[in-house]
A and B are shown apart, each in its own frame.
Chain A
Amino acid sequence: MFEPPYTRTRAANERLRAHECDACGWVSFPEQPQFCKRCGVDASWSETRLQPRGTVRSYVVQQRLPEEFETPLPLAVMDMPQEESGEPARVYGLFTETDPADIEIGMEAEGVFRRVFDVAGLPIHSFKFTRPRGDRL
């Protein structure tokens, strides 16, 4: 944060700041684009926020990863809804504290604020996904 790329992306990482294409409604996250990836228009964009939750569209369970990861690691393609109305953003979601047996396509996962990795010793924070805490009572 601290290094330019992470300073640029901090609002997206920590506040789930996203951008909606005024021409076609597509939601870009985390990038703040100029040309729309979906409709190609050099569009104007409306700033929006995503909710810290998502629906699992597909997933895998990583068994082998570099040491900094906790495995087995469920990893999903998620749709994250906006705070206001509109389309969701389709993103990769890293899971934490979730048994692979508890993941399924279509499930709603809770976004939790976690340390993702360190850069030059400083933590980079963003959201990971987990089976809702309330479900574990």
Chain B
Amino acid sequence: MSSETDVAVVGAGMIDFGELFEQSIDDMLAAAFRDCLDDVDKGMSPADVDAAWFGTIDIADNASSGLGLSHPTGLFEMPVTRVENACATGSSAFRSAVESVRAGNTDVALVAGAEKMRDSAAGLIEGAALDQVWRGRGVTMPAFFGLRATRHMEEYGTTREQIAKISVKNHENGAKYPHAHYRFTCDVDDVVDSPQVTYPLNLYDCCPVTDGAAATLVVSEDVVDEFTDDPIWVAGSGLSVDSFERGNDESLVGFPATEQAAGQAYEQAGITADDIDVAEVHDCFTITELVTYEDLGFCEKGDGGAFIDSGEPLLDGETPVNPSGGLLAKGHPIGATGVAQVNEIYEQLRGKAGAVQADNDPEYGLQHNIGIGRNATGSVSCVNILSRQR
């Protein structure tokens, strides 16, 4: 890894996530792009952008290829790459941009993610793979993650209440976070008594169906001074794929892909899990966050329940997880999610996260996505680590 360029984040922007019937994907992307340009300390104009990466799974069928980003932003006559990696789309788009800057091929990269989840009535509850017989027929997203919950409770004695506490924590944070789709608070009973979606998960264990867009500006060390005196650096990145079909029993209670991606990112950053001060992880469902504590190495395998009980991942705890309220409160506009998480870590490390600022003076922040793919037979995880120090 010699002759590599250091990569900095210099701008972050997003729109308020929600059920945005009046906004098209173009409207959302334009607004997020503008918000991001305005966020750059010393200012940036579209003419400064050299290349762009566009993360979307295009669930609403209207944004194919990089042109889906060029169209609303006016970014033509440059490389624009569309990235899709299931729920890890946003973070993969970010990683791809970072790699290009790190290799010296791009000085200023725009990363944008967007999704129109509410342009159809189906949402995430829709049955997956209706035309497949053995590859995931009927395996919706709550089912895919719920399978880990059933097994985790059986194998480790994790309780329903421990799982529910994650929703309580994230909704408490989300209530303070201006961009969240839902800003209500709830207690454990509210979660457990909410309508059952997929045993053992109830409604409040699930993220809502949400529209949104977010954008990030990433630049090389060679030009960073033009844009800010307070950059946040990309310390490490990891990406991995795995499948439960390969027979690893660990993939029944967690996601080896997360463990692998995190391992790559920690190694590149030269740190361990203990060095992470704040994290934005992929709580599409409560159980996902719980097993992610283990997969990221924040606690031992099987101790996810004890970890949430300990209070460590609370906003005022030792390692705040999902200070923004996570996907549970913000929602999960798939292409935008990872980008918005990167943005939140950026704000946290700059001390600009407002009402949800972690008060432990964070040095290292971690962003994590885990997604399902190939008709629910596999998972893909992307982890990015930012740091205050170069």
Q: Do chains A and B touch in the complex (CB under 8 A)?
A: yes
A interface residue numbers (CB < 8 A to B): 5, 9, 12-13, 26, 28-30, 37-38, 57-66, 68-69, 72-73, 75-77, 87, 90-92, 94, 100, 105, 116-117, 119, 124, 126
Q: CB distance B151 to A58 under 8 Å?
A: yes
For B119-141 the 0/1 string (1 means CB < 8 A from A) is: 00000011100110111111110
User: What is the distance, in angstroms, from B78's C-beta to the closest C-beta of chain A?
Assistant: 36
Q: CB distance A90 to B127 under 8 Å?
A: no
A100 to B196, CA, bound (A): 13
A37 to B196, CA, bound (A): 35
- Further contacts, 17 of them, CB under 8 A, given A92-B135, A100-B199: A5-B131, A37-B245, A57-B151, A58-B148, A62-B138, A62-B143, A63-B197, A63-B198, A64-B197, A65-B127, A66-B126, A77-B147, A90-B244, A90-B245, A91-B245, A92-B134, A117-B130
Q: CB distance A66 to B143 under 8 Å?
A: no
Q: CB distance A30 to B252 under 8 Å?
A: no
A100 to B133, CA, bound (A): 21
Question: Which residues of chain A come closer than 8 Å to B247, judged between CB atoms?
Answer: 26, 38, 87, 90
Question: Which residues of chain B come closer than 8 Å to A29, judged between CB atoms?
Answer: 134
Task: List 11 A–B pairs whose Cβ atoms lie within 8 Å, in order of A's numbering.
Answer: A5-B131, A37-B243, A58-B150, A60-B146, A64-B198, A65-B125, A65-B127, A75-B138, A92-B139, A92-B376, A117-B131
Question: Which residues of chain A come closer than 8 Å to B139, judged between CB atoms?
Answer: 75, 92
Most buried by A among B126, B199, B200: B199
Q: CB distance B198 to A61 under 8 Å?
A: yes
A30 to B132, CA, bound (A): 11
- A69-B127, A91-B245 as given contacts; A12 in contact with B154, CB under 8 Å: no
A65 to B154, CA, bound (A): 25
